[in-house]
Amino acid sequence: MSQTQRWLDGYLRAWRSNDPADVRAIFTDDAEYRFRPDDPAPARGIDAILAMWGRDEGTEPKIDLSVLIEDEHLGIVKGSVDYGDEGSYSNLWEIRFAPDGRARQFVEWYMTPPKPDAG
């Protein structure tokens, strides 16, 4: 299993559990979490990441994410997250790895797909 796949599995585990130990297992203490590439106020440090992490998202999303490319320093994940009536997103995630395999930087690149024409 690749480093990025292990990290992605850990991310999904943390997403579902909201357990701080699961979040700490995938982010370094000084990690930066950006909700978009030009995020003016990223979550900086594990405490800030934990503070934003536990948000209730309402419905359980349908998740389809997979590793696109990687090397020892960078992983790129692509896919989609569908919240049903609450919306869906096409995603490209950029993960910059620390030597221990945790993320030192995470950037979400997401788009909302166009809605089908009701025509």
Residue 118 clears pLDDT 60, i.e. is over it: no
Q: Quick one: pLDDT at residue 95?
A: 98
Residue 32 lies in a domain: yes
Q: What is the CATH number of the domain that holds 46?
A: 3.10.450.50
Report pLDDT digits (tens) over 32-50: 999 999 999 999 999 999 9
Q: Which residues are CB-neighbours of 56 under 8 A, at least 6 positions away?
A: none
Range of the domain at 87: 3-111
**68 vs 19, 33, 65, 71, 98, CA distance in Å?**
27, 20, 9, 11, 19
Residue 14 lies in a domain: yes
Residue 116 lies in a domain: no
Residue 76 lies in a domain: yes
Q: Quick one: pLDDT at residue 50?
A: 96
Domains: count for the chain: 1
Task: Name residue 48's amino acid.
Answer: A
Residue 117 lies in a domain: no
pTM of the predicted structure, to 2 decimals = 0.88
